[in-house]
Amino acid sequence: MNVLVTGGAGYVGTELVLKLAGNPDVSKVVVYDNLSRENYNLFINASKHVSKDKIQFEFGDLLDTRKIRKVLTGIDVVYHLAARASTPFANTDSHLFEQVNHWGTAELVYAIEDIKTVKKMIYVSSCSVYGSGKQLIDESVAVNPKTIYGVSKMRGEEHVSRLGEKMNAIIIRLGNVYGYSSSMRFDAVINKFMFESHYKNRISIHGNGRQSRSFIHVQKAVDSLEAILTKDIPSDIYNLTERNLEIYDLIDEVKDLYPSLEFIFINQHLELREQKINPETKLLKYIPLKQTNFTEELAEFKKHFTFQASV
């Protein structure tokens, strides 16, 4: 089958494209990306084991209706990862979020509806659509986004949900992704803490450190997304996350790896927004998550740093 991955040069997208290229059920992987993050590691770091002849790159924007329709020709499955990304509760660049995450997704859905050849669409959304709170959230909880980013992802979901009446349309709400990828994002909290710990020996903590977040390792996210390709999963919304951690928990874990680590609090009097997602998601019925040790994951992450800084 032929697969299109929008945002295929991004953090999760890079790993997904390489994984799909190694899948014997996949004949071609088309990467559609405007390279707005200026991350080119997809193009230079592929393993010699990757079937490079399977991968095709198309430079383009989601709002380029003509180009979108062109690249959808002959495509069986669409993974829609392209998005203006943000940390969970950031609230800036409202116009960009609306244009890319909302209307860009709308243009892609309109094109899929018109072409009528795509059999399955997987939309990678975000748990940010739930907003914040202290209760444990599952898929039955109504969305209540608190940021422009969360609102834009919710609007994108609304367009994709419409496809569920005509084809297999699956929405995956990801928790905060962490872990090594050749196309790293270092604005994500765990990745940021690891980088700062390794090269600065000091991390900055905003708020009182008691805020919780929901996390999933990048490879587990990619493995689950790839498995959806051939699994018989009904059109619906599924959370994909693994564990909830307070910022204090993260500090303890990182400090075990870097015993001399210093940390400072910024606006410690503030109680920042938090979010806890029930790891027992509906997706586990179809795709189980491999059980791993968080401490070992961070230790493995550490091995990917090129050198140890002098601090």
Give a yes or no: residue 32 inside a domain. yes
Is residue 227 within 8 Å of residue 287, measured between CB atoms?
yes
Predicted local confidence at residue 86, as pLDDT: 63
Over the chain (311 residues), what is each successive 10-residue block's mean pLDDT? 96 95 96 90 72 90 95 97 71 77 95 95 96 94 93 96 94 96 91 95 89 95 98 97 94 94 86 90 96 94 86 55
Whether residue 22 contacts residue 37, with contact meaning beta carbons closer than 8 Å, is answered with: no
Q: What is the reported pLDDT for 44?
A: 86
Give the model's pLDDT for residue 89: 46
Question: 34: buried, middle or exposed (CB in 10 Å: 19+, 13-18, 0-12)?
Answer: middle
Q: Which two tokens stand for residue 301?
A: 């992450």
Q: What is the CATH number of the domain that holds 19?
A: 3.40.50.720
Exposed (0-12), middle (13-18) or buried (19+): which is 97, by Cβ within 10 Å?
buried
Structural domain includes residue 311: no
**Number of structural domains, the chain?**
1
Angle at Cα 247 formed by Cα 246 and Cα 251, nearest 5°?
120
Q: What is the pTM of this model?
A: 0.93
pLDDT of residue 92: 61
* Residue span of the structural domain in which 221 resides: 2-178+215-242
The per-residue pLDDT for range 84-114, each reduced to its tens digit, is 876 544 556 677 888 889 999 999 999 999 9
Tokens of 174: 């990801």
* Residue 273: inside a domain: no
138 located within any domain: yes
Q: Are 138 and 239 in contact (CB under 8 A)?
A: yes
Runs of H (alpha helix) within 72-104:
94-97
Beta-strand runs (E) in the chain: 2-6, 28-33, 55-59, 77-80, 120-126, 136-137, 168-174, 176-178, 202-206, 212-217, 236-240, 243-246, 262-266, 276-277
Residue 148 belongs to some domain of the structure: yes
Asked, for residue 207, whether it belongs to a domain, the answer is no
